[in-house]
Amino acid sequence: MNPGQQLSITCTDLDDLGAGLGAVDGRRVHVAGALPGERVTAVVEHVSRQEPAAWARLVTVEAPAPERRQPACPAFGSCGGCILQHFAYEAQLAWKRRRVGDAFAARSVLAGITIDPCVPSPKPLGYRNKSKLVVARTADQGRLVLGAYAPRSHDVVEVAGCRIAESPLDETAGALRAILDEAGVRPYDERTLTGNLRHVVLRSNHAGQVLAVWIAARPLPDGAALARRFRAVRPEVVGVVEHENRTRGNVLFSDAGDNERILDGAGTIEDRVEVAGRSVLLTLSPGAFFQANRAVAGLAYAALAAGLGARSIDRIVDAYSGAGGIALALAPFASEVIGIESHAGAVADATASAGLNGITNARFVVGDAAALLTGLDRADLVVLNPPRKGCAPSVLAQVVRLAPRALAYLSCDPDTLARDLEALAAHGYRARAVTPFDMLPHTPHVETLVLLPKSA
């Protein structure tokens, strides 16, 4: 098999990135855009030298699967975002459940654990509360674009008309693009290190308000005047913040101190998540983590609380607390809640949110999770909601030392979840309930909640 070779392939599954997966002459072939059950024609683009695998570009669908659907977004295929829009939503949910099950089955200690059906998003479209947009200019006309990277490249694709973003994010982005283009704002060029504006992040809340963050390699000339004009055109924008990021590479937010300034309006936005009929108010600053699907976050938090059996708990420790959503949702069930988070801005947000909710039994501390867990003497429940790489071994060691009665693990990656659950099982923590949640419809991502009581 060689690059440029044309193949006829029958796809039997999707890989972890959402590409169709088939086999030719004993070699796995990944075809983006193909679906399970389809026979397609594809052209080989890359052949691995380390393993029997190849990646190919879809040319034609010879026999479409019954689950194939017309994508909703005009940029589908060129945008690297919601790449499963052509896959029926019910089929997406079933595949995500299987993906979690496959990760568990690969580790013998987890084999046989029942995986609940994937909880659907109440809104498969228009659910995403944050847009992260790349700033560029078109090669032909030099027109400014707020878009996304094409798959496996740094080519920027225009995403006007995005259907997964909450209203009014797409309309707000369109107005901002016109203002920045007219002002002659120069996009940052990562090759020549010239220009100013790198990304725009727009965060919306439950009330349709928007916080805009301009991520710049260096301050924009007349940035404050542009921000005032933007807010005059789009009154739902409660504030514009400029975040200066001079680092090389693709990191969105720099962790350098004193690199943010409010150009106009507010520097944070207040959001609300509904948890089993109760509202939890959240203050969110530009770089704070909060789940991109507010409705599904509320369902996951409610399932976590229900798993506690509504019993009173002495101390809950949330080891990756982010902006405090989970910790504040669980506060009514505990005498004390401690949230641990490495992002100082998120800790400030969570502390402010506790005040908004009238919660006095929750406190939040900033620092490394393993180091701060070392300083605790006990915990009745530990909540783990780590980034995609999962928990560091040092964190798991400290969790085991605390010997809580139960653990709750909310994961965004099935493979690192399975790895960490295998480590915890050796210490008597075995999964009792495993529930996938479709936090990001039309993407390969799946969020999974696992409740682990301590064995006697």
Find how far residue 396's CA is from the centre of its chain.
23
Q: Which two tokens stand for residue 207?
A: 């009330």
Pairing of strands 53-63, 39-47: antiparallel
Q: Residue 112: which residues within 8 A CB-CB, separation 6 or more?
A: none
- 3-state SS, residue 144: strand
Q: Residues 97-119, buried b or exposed e (16+ Cβ, 10 A)?
A: bbbbbebbeeeebbeebebeebb
Q: Which two tokens stand for residue 422?
A: 């295998």
Place of tokens 């994961």: 411
Can 391 be counted among the known catalytic residues? Answer: no
Place of tokens 């693009």: 177
The one catalytic residue in 11, 73, 391, 412 is: 412
Pairing of strands 260-265, 237-244: antiparallel
249-254 own/partner pairs: CB under 8 Å, 24+ apart? 252/132, 252/199, 252/201, 252/215, 253/215, 253/286, 253/287
Show the 3-state SS of 92-143. HHHHHHHHHHHHHHCCHHHCCCCCCCCECCCCCCCCECEEEEEEEECCCCCC
**36 burial level (CB within 10 Å; 0-12, 13-18, 19+):** middle
Omega cis (within 30) before 393 = no
Active-site residue list: 412
